[in-house]
Structure 1
Amino acid sequence: MATRPKKKGVVKNLAAGRPPTVTKPKSLARKTTKSIINKLHLLEKRKVQAMKKNDNAQVAAIEAEIEALGGIEKYQEASLQGQRHDRGGDSSNVLMEWVGPYLSSEEYKGGRLRMLEVGALSTKNVCAQSNHFDITRIDLNSQEPGILEQDFMERPLPKDESEKFDIISLSLVLNFVPDHKDRGEMLVRTTQFLTSPKRFSGTSAAFFPSLFLVLPAPCVTNSRYLDQERLAAIMESIGYEMVESKTTQRLVYYLWRRTSDQVGNDRPFRKEEIRSGSSRNNFAITLL
């Protein structure tokens, strides 16, 4: 008696019936990403301190440590892992929660807004997919086409209003700047890239021009030198007003509206202790 041939398994898709050709990189564990980012932050801070002392040997040694950890590329890999949906997701989600309903409403007639995304890691975040923005993306180490490799502090200043932006995104960028004075200078510099508040009227003027700022929560909630009140005072001194804020266990999110055409701060902010305790961190922002 003839035996019937066995049926071959049905291949549901091409990928299932094809041997793997590329091994996907392993996902970094959350503790690993946090450890990498913290170590690189600390090394960058030590490097700045060594440079101030003109200790070239120490600078070289720290640079070797940074290189051994993978440098900016490893930092970006860890940051990209942190943007995964299961790890809290893309920070621009919060921005769209705030401004998206208005931009999608019949009330808004302003067209697409110009956005500068500093420290961009992807061209496919929520803001990009919303179709509300024409986005210029820059980063120190571009990860994909569509992101210009550029240092914001060295970006040429706009010649006129046509080269300025309606909103700037500074998400998890300021905390990577190792020196407190440079952080202050970066915040001041954002005002030079934003359009004049006179460009907006009505409800639009409640949101734009603006700065979307995201920091690790401990920078504000557990610092010796910075809390929300002091941050607000610093921002107000350079012509910003807080429109929205949100604090989670890991991050703090802010939307700051530019209220005047001033450039620079109207009073100094030095590094002064406002909280005591051995468990505090030393994150600070100063303006001279």
Structure 2
Amino acid sequence: MAKKQKKKQPITTRVQPTDAKFKHSRVETARLIRRFHVLNKELAKCRAEPSPANTTYEQDILKEMEAMGGLDWYQKASQLGQSKTRGGDSSKWLIQTLKSHCKEQLDTSARPLKVLDIGAVAPDNYKPYSSWITAKPIDLNPQHPDIQKQDFLKMTPPSTDETRFDIVCLSLVINFVGDPKDRGQMLIHTRHFLTSPSISNRLHYLFLVVPLPCIDNSRYMTHEHLLSMMTSIGYTKCIHHHFSNKLAYYLFELTTVPSTKNISWKKKILPGKEGGARNNFAVVIE
């Protein structure tokens, strides 16, 4: 007799009522962000493996997300997380790195740098540097009218180098994407928005930020693994990287645009990364 499949239970046990007010405390916003990330990953798993059980589970997850306030509350929590009272936004690290590691490139640039800010939670992160930076902020669920509503994975790349960007920013974006394959596709897609590496008087940079546990506590990722993966898709130069208490910052330079036809990065546990206390953050390219 076939064993009856045990019904999956919702990830969360305490559901926030839909008419609740958004809480601004540090503890509550951090809790909301963590929980939303867990639910989003579970949602991606359900959609990757369709089945009657997963369809039911997916509906449970969506109901919990809605009860938590949905993507709107997640974005509000992210806005508070990057406020000046909580340490500021990651663009500050990028500006500091550009000034300290890329001075020669900045001095030879004939015009302001064009920046594509993906997943922007505020429209004015680069406003203090408007004399030398022009930013285009986009997001799936904008919290400000000056942020363009756009799904980056579905965004059509610019057709000419004149309309492409000098810097693409993926700050705390790929860790939000639930499917590891979509994360890999997102990294590859950034190349189509940067100017050709053959143009010497332009920058070709990818600014990448992920939570530090994605790098140092994942079964499927390490700093060295990420560098090798990025090199394989054309980001052969890591200009600078930095690990804070919570975040991992990277500035990569696109030096070539190789075909990804024969590039394969699968989800596999890396040596020395076994153990139940580790997380499952992974990036897959195939």
Report the counterpart of residue 72 of structure 1 in structure 2: 71
Report the counterpart of residue 220 of structure 1 in structure 2: 215
Report the counterpart of residue 249 of structure 1 in structure 2: 245
Q: CA deviation at 1:104?
A: 9.9
Q: CA deviation digits over 1:162-192, x for unaligned, max 9? A: 3311110110000000011111111011011
Q: CA deviation at 1:265?
A: 6.5
Identity level (%): 36
Q: CA deviation at 1:143?
A: 1.1
Q: Distance in 2 between matches of 1:157 and 1:62?
A: 33
* Pair 1:96 & 2:95 matched: yes
From 10, 29, 44, give the equivalent of 2:40.
44
Q: CA deviation digits over 1:242-268, x for unaligned, max 9? A: 111010111010001001133536531
Q: 1:265 to 1:87 in 2, by over 3 A?
A: farther
Letter in structure 1 aligned against 2:145: P
Q: Secondary structure at the match of 1:214?
A: strand
Gaps of 5+ in 2: 1-20
Q: 1:118 to 1:171 in 2, by over 3 A?
A: same
Q: 1:56 to 1:175 in 2, by over 3 A?
A: same
Q: Distance in 2 between matches of 1:109 and 1:79?
A: 33
TM-score when normalising by structure 2: 0.84
Letter in structure 2 aligned against 1:221: D
Q: Secondary structure at the match of 1:186?
A: helix
Contact kept, 8 Å, 1:238 with 1:262, in 2: the verdict is yes
Report the counterpart of residue 204 of structure 2 in structure 1: 209
Q: CA deviation digits over 1:102-158, x for unaligned, max 9? A: 569993442201111100111221x23212222111100111122110100111122
Contact kept, 8 Å, 1:174 with 1:215, in 2: the verdict is yes
Contact kept, 8 Å, 1:192 with 1:263, in 2: the verdict is no
Contact kept, 8 Å, 1:167 with 1:210, in 2: the verdict is yes
* Pair 1:229 & 2:224 matched: yes
TM-score when normalising by structure 1: 0.84
Q: CA deviation at 1:46?
A: 1.3
Q: Secondary structure at the match of 1:269?
A: coil
Q: Secondary structure at the match of 2:238?
A: strand
Q: 1:106 to 1:198 in 2, by over 3 A?
A: closer
Q: CA deviation at 1:33?
A: 1.9
Contact kept, 8 Å, 2:220 with 2:282, in 1: the verdict is yes
Letter in structure 1 aligned against 2:68: L
Contact kept, 8 Å, 2:22 with 2:73, in 1: the verdict is no
Q: Secondary structure at the match of 1:235?
A: helix
Q: Distance in 2 between matches of 1:107 and 1:190?
A: 25
State the structure with more CA Rg: 1
Letter in structure 1 aligned against 2:152: F
Aligned-residue Cα RMSD (Å) equals: 2.0
Q: CA deviation digits over 1:222-261, x for unaligned, max 9? A: 1111010000011001000211101011101000100113
Q: CA deviation at 1:89?
A: 1.0
Q: Distance in 1 between matches of 2:84 and 2:262?
A: 41
Q: Give the stretch that moved more between structures: 156-165 or 219-228.
A: 156-165
Q: Give the stretch that moved more between structures: 32-41 or 94-103.
A: 94-103
Paired residues, number: 258
From 271, 276, 282, give the equivalent of 2:274.
276
Q: 1:27 to 1:91 in 2, by over 3 A?
A: farther
Q: Distance in 1 between matches of 2:280 and 2:73?
A: 24
Q: Distance in 2 between matches of 1:178 and 1:251?
A: 19
From 263, 274, 286, give the equivalent of 1:267.
263
Q: Distance in 1 between matches of 2:57 and 2:88?
A: 37
Report the counterpart of residue 146 of structure 2 in structure 1: 146
Q: CA deviation digits over 1:15-34, x for unaligned, max 9? A: xxxxxxxxxx9862222222
Report the counterpart of residue 35 of structure 1 in structure 2: 31
Letter in structure 1 aligned against 2:26: R
Q: Distance in 1 between matches of 2:195 and 2:259?
A: 12
